[in-house]
Structure 1
Amino acid sequence: MNRHLARGLFLALVALGFGLGSLRYSIGRLDHAGPGLFPLAISALLFLVALGTMARAAVEPSERLEVKVGNIGLILGSLCAFALVSKLVNMSAGIVVMVFIATAAGRDYSWIRNLKISAGLLAIAFGFQQLLGLNLPLL
């Protein structure tokens, strides 16, 4: 199967799943949004990205889809490590551990890039905690 087509189909399925799920909630209006408006809007944008990805598959030369079970295991393992380290230590340490494990699934491994990604995710998490008042156990 074409790699770009598979990506587009997967994104379309995710978008449809969340978009249809958001219809169970009130959409409201743009001036008075309901709880279903934001997930519906994000789903619609993701579906547009999926359509663009599928169109790319029709235009560009085909790349064969390769399923790498080891990489899937690394990603799943990084999520499990995030949950475990967040529970035992704190969420900040969990984020860093998750990034360092998950990026091992990529083509080239860079400690400096991992530190930058970790710093960015930590900044977002602290922003959610401080600005939105979310109860995140970051420290």
Structure 2
Amino acid sequence: MALRIRSEKDLGSGLLYLLLGGAGFAIARDYGLGTAGRMGPGYFPTAISALLLLFGAVTLVRALLVEGPVIGAVNWKGLGLVTLSVCLFGALLSGAGLPAALAVLILVAAMASEKFALGPKAIAAMIALVLFCSIVFVKGLGVPMPLLGSWFAGTIIP
């Protein structure tokens, strides 16, 4: 009995999950695991990698058992804009600060959608998301990201 791939999308997704899960395990193997009560630096990457491997195995089995769609055309514009938005976020974070970098990330990634329209609702949602992320990550969780980057040092707040 020959195996037949019934869903190309599930096959591709499953292989990607397995690849990322295996890479996560390989990277985290040199870190201390710790325990559930006192987690080491390798605990979270190992747990996430295990979940990715599990999802990958389930998705591969699904690709063999359940009929699914074939892989269609690649949305190069969307792929490029989302990738560009993440790269711009990383490049702008220290110089412009978290709110400005997030605004650029959101605007550039949103342009990947065919339904993108910059209206009052979209602007209000972007401002709310930027404020929420700034408060939660910087103030609430203490993640060391600047609210105002080095480009604005001394210009806005002396």
Q: TM-score, normalised by structure 2?
A: 0.70
Distance in 1, Cα, partners of 2:47 & 2:130: 24
Assess if the C-alpha contact under 8 Å between 2:33 and 2:39 holds in 1.
yes
Assess if the C-alpha contact under 8 Å between 2:8 and 2:68 holds in 1.
no
Residue from 69, 75, 90 that aligns with 1:68: 75
Larger gyration radius, structure 1 or structure 2? 2
1:30 matched to 2:36: yes
Structure 1 counterpart of 2:23: 17
Structure 2 gap ranges (5+): 1-6, 149-158
Per-residue CA distance 1:53-82 (angstroms, 9 max, x = gap):
334433132322433333222122212322
**TM-fit CA distance, 1:42:** 1.4
Structure 1 counterpart of 2:135: 126
Assess if the C-alpha contact under 8 Å between 1:126 and 1:138 holds in 2.
no
Measured at CA, do residues 103 and 6 of structure 1 come closer, stay the same or move farther in structure 2, by a change above 3 Å?
Answer: farther
Kindly tell me the number of residue pairs found equivalent between the two proteins. Answer: 139
Quick one: which amino acid aligns to residue 91 of structure 1?
Answer: L
Residue from 55, 78, 89 that aligns with 2:85: 78
Identity of aligned residues (%): 29
Measured at CA, do residues 82 and 44 of structure 1 come closer, stay the same or move farther in structure 2, by a change above 3 Å?
Answer: same
Residue from 113, 121, 144 that aligns with 1:135: 144
Structure with higher helix content: 1
Map residues 95-110 of structure 1 onto 2, 5 A cutoff: 95-109=102-116
Q: TM-score, normalised by structure 1?
A: 0.78
**TM-fit CA distance, 1:125:** 4.3
Distance in 1, Cα, partners of 2:130 & 2:52: 21
Measured at CA, do residues 4 and 115 of structure 1 come closer, stay the same or move farther in structure 2, by a change above 3 Å?
Answer: farther
**TM-fit CA distance, 1:137:** 0.9
Task: Quote the RMSD (CA, aligned, Å).
Answer: 2.7
